[in-house]
């Protein structure tokens, strides 16, 4: 019977390949992305170091960190060497990164363009594997009063309740709304359903003295603005 071989750990690597020691000596900026992730997962497989394992995983998503964050727990554990515990650790780090970036958007924000909306919402939406529909509620000075998730759906669409969106607008004292949702597919073209929702919001808003400033689609490829394209 063949004796079991333990996975290679970071401690067993040559000095030059030890990311922990490298970080301690030179700082995090000196490490590659795969080396930083290797510190988190700690070990690879019996034939592959933690650094090599992370290089392989990153290569599978074209070294795109956004695509990496979009992988589910099941998607991560498909890689040999990544068990549930390591996958959970990675997902926890992805969530902490998202929260850290969101903290910078919690200060008072004035919306001046579609690009400013994209910058404000991209961290929330770009890594999601499903569609979500959000509403930004603005005051008369175009300052964001609240960011509100109206619905959460599947991969291709989500159900939107206009009445709930307007109810919340009155509760927070908003005078204008910006509609934002994501396309996990990466497509930056509004679907017929997207256009229909925009029209319904605009028509209904006119009857309750609210203004719909824009409907923006966010994806990893950028954003689409209905207002910029004169579709509003």
Each residue of 31-46: pLDDT tens digit? 899 999 999 999 999 8
Weakest mean pLDDT among 86-100, 111-125, 126-140, 167-181? 86-100
DSSP strand pairing (222-225 vs 144-152): unpaired
**Pair 89, 48: CB distance under 8 Å:** no
Give the Cβ contact number of residue 162 at 10 Å.
Answer: 14
Measuring CA to CA, how many Å separate 19 from each of 26, 50, 88, 132?
10, 10, 21, 37
Q: Cβ-count burial of 171 within 10 angstroms (0-12 exposed, 13-18 middle, 19+ buried)?
A: exposed
Q: So what's the pLDDT on residue 129?
A: 86
Please choose, from the candidates 94, 96, 29, the residue with its C-alpha nearest in 3D space to the C-alpha of residue 68: 94
Q: So what's the pLDDT on residue 9?
A: 56
Measuring CA to CA, how many Å separate 31 from each of 23, 41, 130, 201, 208?
7, 15, 32, 48, 55
What does pLDDT average to over the chain?
87
Q: So what's the pLDDT on residue 58?
A: 93
Q: Higher model confidence: residue 156 or residue 203? A: 203
How much of the chain exceeds pLDDT 70, in percent?
A: 88
Q: Which residue has the tokens 């404000």?
A: 120
* pLDDT for residue 210 is more than 60: yes
Q: So what's the pLDDT on residue 102?
A: 66
Q: So what's the pLDDT on residue 154?
A: 67
Answer yes or no: CATH 1.20.210.10 is held by domain 107-225.
Answer: no
Question: What confidence tier does 16 reach under pLDDT thresholds 50, 70, 90?
Answer: very low
Give the span between the Cα atoms of 41 and 87, in whole angstroms: 9
Question: What confidence tier does 15 reach under pLDDT thresholds 50, 70, 90?
Answer: very low
The string of DSSP codes covering 127-171 is: T-SS-EEEEEEE-TT-BEEEEEEEEE--SS-----HHHHHHHHHH
């Amino acid at each position: 019977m063949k004796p079991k071989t333990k996975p290679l750990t970071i401690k067993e690597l040559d000095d030059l390949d030890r990311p922990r020691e490298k970080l301690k000596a030179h700082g995090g900026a000196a490490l590659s992305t795969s080396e930083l992730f290797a510190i988190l997962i700690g070990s690879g497989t019996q034939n592959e170091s933690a650094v090599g394992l992370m290089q392989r995983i990153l290569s599978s998503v074209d070294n795109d960190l956004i695509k990496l964050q979009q992988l589910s727990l099941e998607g991560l554990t498909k890689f040999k060497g990544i068990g549930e515990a390591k996958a959970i650790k990675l997902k926890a780090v992805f969530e902490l990164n998202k929260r850290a970036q969101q903290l910078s958007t919690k200060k008072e924000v004035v919306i001046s363009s579609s690009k400013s909306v994209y910058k404000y919402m991209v961290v929330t939406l770009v890594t999601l594997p499903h569609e979500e529909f959000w509403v930004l509620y603005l005051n008369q000075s175009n300052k964001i009063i609240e960011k509100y998730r109206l619905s959460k759906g599947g991969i291709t669409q989500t159900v939107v309740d206009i009445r709930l969106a307007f109810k919340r607008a009155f509760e927070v004292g908003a005078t204008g709304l910006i509609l934002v949702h994501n396309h996990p597919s990466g497509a930056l073209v509004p679907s017929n359903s997207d256009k229909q929702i925009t029209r319904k919001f605009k028509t209904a808003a006119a009857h309750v003295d609210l203004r719909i400033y824009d409907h923006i689609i966010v994806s990893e490829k950028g954003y689409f603005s209905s207002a910029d394209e004169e579709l509003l």
